[in-house]
Amino acid sequence: QWHSGYFDMPEEVLDFFELARYFTVALTPRGNRMADLRERWMHKVAAPTKYDPLQPLQTEMLVGAARALDANLVASVPDDAILWLNHMLEFPAVQPSMTVSYVMGIVSKDWHCDARMSGGWLTVRPKSFAAAHDAYLDRGALESAMLRAVREQRLTIANLATYGTRQSSTMALTMSDGRLLALAAGRSVGSAIYYNRYPLLFLGATKIFETPLQQTEFQFNAAQLSKEARDVLAAWAFGDSWQNTFGLDYLWEDREPDAAHPLGHISKRPTEAMPDGVPAMLVGKITLKTEPGLAVLYGPDKNWSAPIIWRAEGFGGFGVDELVADRTAKAQTIEQTVLRLEFMLGPKLGLVAEMEDPPAVDPDAWVTFGDLPANVIEFWLAKQRAREQPEKAPAQKPPPN
């Protein structure tokens, strides 16, 4: 039984918790406070080989508990303990003051560690050292990707795919390192990395980004792939872990979004469906396309300090009439690159992923939203009307630049 003594958390670590939670679930850093917090932490966030950004909360919680117990501390906390944060986004699990018993409950239940007191020492170690080893994230690879994100001020597909080839961790390209990469880029990723983990690992394994791309479409079959790429493809198709959200399945053009195939998800039966794994004749295609879009920077009353990207064929056209009247809202036309990766076994059976490359935004190209060309505003107004009255919406042409 642990006693319920209190200890205080350092304000700096509480600030990091707030910042990490925000960049996990939101679209952009919000308001001056978020911008200030990010500025304050960037020298540490972008140097994980010197300041470990995966462990500040866990470290301070254990140090505080050890002091409350008047004990020495030796601890080895696995990297996947940070997943605890992902389950606490709606609940402020890190409080200014906490009890020892509360922290020890988290250590056992959420960090999957054993904690013991003996001879004046508090010892914390993983319940499974093998799992902790597999989850370890290489800090050098993480630092390289974060510094590139800082330089480019965005988190590109090429950066993520290259980074994935340098990590052997089961935690690579999940919300754990994704949160930190988003902090470095200054743009939140939400769940984009999580859902595209296997496609990103596959693109990295093909080494497609090692040289400048000279074409916009690549076609191949599985037999032409390296063993590493085939292994990732098999994990994507047949994986049965929390990391594999979208596996090999029947793609019905007329199916309802939640409709289930009568035989169930094919990825659950790899030996029945394909006893030898992914077949060599599996046809793959990577397509790159560029479409015009709009970067929108909302006024200060909306509390956003980074732009929202509108896509012609996706998100966009929200409250256009209000933005036209708001003289503090700004915008600029941009080019949005979309990468589509697909493997097909048949007309309606295969794997498909589509990812957006964050566009480069010109800091000198902003104009007041209402001063955009009339045809640009009309395009997005039409998109807004199409969403509000889809049955009456006419077909749209590509947005003007």
Contact 167, 77 (CB under 8 A): no
Question: What gap in Å lies between CA 360 and CA 357, rounded to an integer?
Answer: 9
What's the CA gap between 218 and 100, in Å, rounded? 56
Sign of CA dihedral 141, 142, 146, 147: negative
The strand pair at 121-126 and 72-75 is best described as parallel
pLDDT of residue 123: 96
The answer to whether residues 172 and 137 touch, using CB atoms and an 8 Å cutoff, is yes
Rounded Cα distance between 138 and 185, Å, is 19
Q: Are 82 and 142 in contact (CB under 8 A)?
A: no
What is the token pair recorded at 10? 């350092």
Q: Residue 3's pLDDT is what?
A: 65
Residue showing tokens 């060309």: 373
Look up residue 237 and give its two tokens.
């198709």
Q: Look at 7 and 368; give whichever has higher pLDDT.
A: 368
Residue type, 36: D
pLDDT digit string, tens, across residues 118-141: 999 999 999 999 999 999 999 999
Q: Classify residue 352 by its DSSP letter.
A: E
The answer, yes or no, to whether residue 190 has pLDDT greater than 60, is no
Contact 29, 189 (CB under 8 A): no
Per-residue pLDDT, averaged over 305-328, amounts to 81
pLDDT for the residue numbered 90:
46
Average pLDDT over residues 146-159: 88
Side chain identity at residue 142, one-letter code: L
In which band, very low, low, confident or very high, does the pLDDT at 209 lie, cut at 50, 70 and 90? confident
Three-class SS state of 354: strand
* Range with the largest mean pLDDT of 10-24, 76-90, 365-379: 365-379
DSSP labels for 33-70?
Answer: HHHHHHHHHHHHHT-TTTS-TTSHHHHHHHHHHHHHTT
Q: Answer whether residue 184 shows pLDDT above 60.
A: yes
* Helix (H) or strand (E) run with residue 199 in it: helix 197-206
Residue with tokens 């850093």: 29
Structure tokens given for 328: 């503090």
Q: Could you give phi then psi for residue 33, rounded to 5 degrees?
A: -60, -45
pLDDT value of residue 243: 40
198, pLDDT greater than 90: no
Tokens of 9: 């958390």
pLDDT of residue 4: 64
Look at residue 162 and tell me whether its pLDDT is greater than 90.
Answer: yes
* Residue 247 reports pLDDT greater than 50: no
Q: Is pLDDT at 219 greater than 70 in this prediction? A: yes
Segment among 38-47, 129-138, 344-353 with least mean pLDDT: 344-353
pLDDT bucket at 254, cuts 50 / 70 / 90: very low
Q: Is the distance from CB of 147 to CB of 118 less than 8 angstroms?
A: no
Taking the chain, what is the end-to-end CA distance rounded to the nearest angstrom?
Answer: 66
DSSP labels for 96-115?
Answer: SEEEHHHHHHHHHHTS-EEE
pLDDT (mean) for 295-322:
76
Q: What percent of the chain has pLDDT over 90?
A: 21
Give the torsion through C-alpha atoms of 209, 211, 213, 215, to 10 deg: -110
Q: What is the pLDDT of residue 267?
A: 47
Average pLDDT, rounded, for the chain: 77
Nearest Cα neighbor of 64 from 5, 124, 2 is 5
The answer to whether residues 266 and 348 touch, using CB atoms and an 8 Å cutoff, is no
Query: By C-alpha distance, which of 169, 175, 147, 161 is closest to 42?
Result: 147
- Two tokens at 30? 């919000």
Contact 376, 357 (CB under 8 A): no
CA distance 201 to 207: 10
- Cα 377 to its chain centre, rounded Å, is 31
- 160: closest CA among 355, 389, 398? 355
pLDDT confidence of residue 371 = 92
pLDDT above 70 (res 239): no
pLDDT class for 93, splitting at 50, 70, 90? low
- pTM, rounded to two decimals: 0.79
Q: What percent of the chain has pLDDT over 70?
A: 73
Confidence of residue 27 (pLDDT cuts 50, 70, 90): very low
> Between these two residues, 202 and 274, which has the higher pLDDT value?
202
